[in-house]
Amino acid sequence: MVTGQCADVLHLLRTLQPMPSFILTADHAIPETAARIHELRAKGFNVLTVIMPEYEFRGVIRRKVALYSLGKPEWPASGFLDDQGGGE
């Protein structure tokens, strides 16, 4: 089960992907975005990260910005069930 800020991040990824880390932090008050992404991955969600060398955010060029999206299938991530003892 996904609750709290992880649930918020998951909903935003499902509806607005790809989503830069800045949007999650600045517009949706998720201060520890990377930690929430890590928690979703730990639960088996297939969260993909692309690092953009440059990204314009609010008129300023930012460097090395993470863009997050959900892979297909979004759950379980490849190999997740094997790591949990649920695979063959």
**Interval 1-13: pLDDT, tens:** 899 999 999 999 9
Alpha helices in the chain (DSSP H): 4-16, 21-22, 33-42, 80-83
Question: What pTM was estimated for this model as a whole?
Answer: 0.83
Considering the chain, what is the average pLDDT of its residues? 90
The secondary structure element, H or E, covering residue 20 is strand 19-20
Q: Tell me the Cα Rg of the chain.
A: 14
CA distance 88 to 66: 34
CA distance 59 to 80: 39
**Interval 27-51: pLDDT, tens:** 999 989 999 999 999 999 999 999 9
Query: Per-residue confidence at 68, pLDDT binned at 50, 70, 90?
Result: very high
Q: Which pLDDT score is estimated for 76?
A: 83
Q: Which pLDDT score is estimated for 84?
A: 63
Tokens 């607005």 sit at which residue? 16
- Map out the domains of the chain with their CATH numbers: 4-83 (1.10.10)
